Amino acid sequence: MSSTQTYYLCRLVAFSFMSSRASMNLLLIVTNFVYIIKEQLRRAERKNRDAFRKMMEDHIAAGTLTAKTHWRDYCQKVKDSEPYEAVASNTSGSTPKDLFEDAVEELEKQYDEDKAQIKDALKLEKITVSSTWTFEDFKSSIKESIGSYSISDINLQLVYEDLIDRAKEKEEKEAKKRKRLAKDFTDKLSTIKEIDASSSWEVCKQLVEDSSEYRSIGEESSCMEIFDEYVTRLQEKAKEKERKREEDKVKKEREREEKDKKKDKERREKEREKEKEKERDKDREREREKEKGKDHTRKDEVDSDDMDVEESHGHKDDKRREKDKERKHRKRHQSTNDDLSSDKDDKEDVKKSRRHGSDRKKSRKHAYSPESDGESRHKRHRRDHRDGSRRNDGNEELEDGELGEDGEIQ
């Protein structure tokens, strides 16, 4: 309660006590007080609404609030402002939404009047709005037509946007219609076998000009354009087909080359395997030859030992024969010179036989194993040494040509 209200209330109470009619005065005082409070509240709420209207007027001037603005969008912008909160706290009267709708209603009324004026101007001048127009193009096209009629730039912008949207919708519908008619005409062309990738419009026109698809389009230029696009697609398909054929040909050629290369590689691998197998066979053959050489060497060694044994037995036989001869010589009383010459002859024969056997062994060893030449020379040396020992034993018996007791040579 304000100080003024308190002052008036105190005066009313004092006056009531001085009056003879106290009860009637008290009721009047209270009634007047309530009236004063309500009137002050109503004035405060009206001031709040006026402040909110003033805020909207500022927004209209700035272009924030227009005939196309929705309450939900506008409320999000002003809900934190002081005028909006003051009006929202009012206990009576219009709400912020009511005030907004009243303002937008006036804006829509003005917008409709401006739009009608602009349409009349475009119709009068026979101007068709294109979807590619800019706002400046639109503004300059109607400047002379509207004359002195005042239209705000905001409403002019709204009308421009509305007409552009309508033009786009109309163009989209017409484009869909042309597309449908073009498809129908293309389907008609595809049913005519005489039309191919090399056809021309002058030749094929008579084949389609009586069809309903041709008449639906109405313009020969449009039909010729559709025909040219159809022929172009046929040419592209022919080129694509030829390209795929060439690609398949190249692919098959490449596959054949790869297959031939694979076969050549396998053949070379087989040849290498054969060569390796031949080398292995040669290695095995050399190993067998080497083993054979070793076997022949061992056999020659055995034969040499056997020959040595045979030679030792032959030497003993020779000794016996010599003793027999000596006994015969003694019996026959042959001369010492004859006995010696006979003995020398026998020894020469033995030497020749031994030399012949040794030469045969050498030739056999050289034929079978050249690698064992050193070993053979060693064996020949050892054998010669044994032969020399035997000759020395024989000479000891007949050393210096001496004779025994019965005329035998000792």
- Structure confidence at residue 102 (pLDDT): 92
Helices of type H across 129-218: 135-146, 153-190, 201-208, 212-217
Structural domain contains residue 72: yes
> Do 51 and 86 form a contact (C-beta atoms < 8 A)?
yes
Of the spans 17-31, 132-146, 248-262, which averages the highest pLDDT? 248-262
The answer to whether residue 350 scores a pLDDT higher than 90 is no
Structural domain total, the chain = 1
The mean per-residue pLDDT over the stretch 327-354 comes to 58
Structural domain contains residue 37: yes
- Structure confidence at residue 205 (pLDDT): 86
Mean pLDDT of the chain: 76
> Do 42 and 92 form a contact (C-beta atoms < 8 A)?
yes
**Bridge partners, 403 (sequence order):** 409
- Structure confidence at residue 74 (pLDDT): 92
- Structure confidence at residue 54 (pLDDT): 93
The answer to whether residue 161 scores a pLDDT higher than 50 is yes
Structure tokens at 49: 């609404």
- Structure confidence at residue 93 (pLDDT): 83
The answer to whether residue 397 scores a pLDDT higher than 80 is no
In angstroms, rounded to a whole number, what is the distance separating the alpha carbons of residues 324 and 326? 5
At 147, is the pLDDT very low, low, confident or very high (cuts 50, 70, 90)?
Answer: low
State pLDDT tens for residues 32-82: 766 677 778 888 888 989 999 999 999 998 888 999 899 999 999 998 999
* Position with higher pLDDT, 119 vs 348: 119
Structural domain contains residue 252: no
In angstroms, rounded to a whole number, what is the distance separating the alpha carbons of residues 217 and 177? 10
In angstroms, rounded to a whole number, what is the distance separating the alpha carbons of residues 313 and 307? 10
Neighbours of 321 (CB within 10 A): 11
- Structure confidence at residue 219 (pLDDT): 84
The answer to whether residue 392 scores a pLDDT higher than 60 is no
Structural domain contains residue 136: yes
- Structure confidence at residue 318 (pLDDT): 67
Structural domain contains residue 224: no
Structural domain contains residue 340: no
The answer to whether residue 402 scores a pLDDT higher than 50 is no
- Structure confidence at residue 6 (pLDDT): 54
Question: Which domain, by its residues, includes 21?
Answer: 3-168
DSSP 3-state of 353: helix
At 22, is the pLDDT very low, low, confident or very high (cuts 50, 70, 90)?
Answer: low
Structural domain contains residue 378: no
Structural domain contains residue 43: yes
Assessment of whether the complete model's pTM goes beyond 0.85: no
The percentage of the chain sitting over the pLDDT mark of 90, rounded to a whole number, equals 13
- Structure confidence at residue 124 (pLDDT): 81
Structure tokens at 169: 């919708």
Please calculate the CA angle 232-233-234 and round it to the nearest 5 degrees: 90
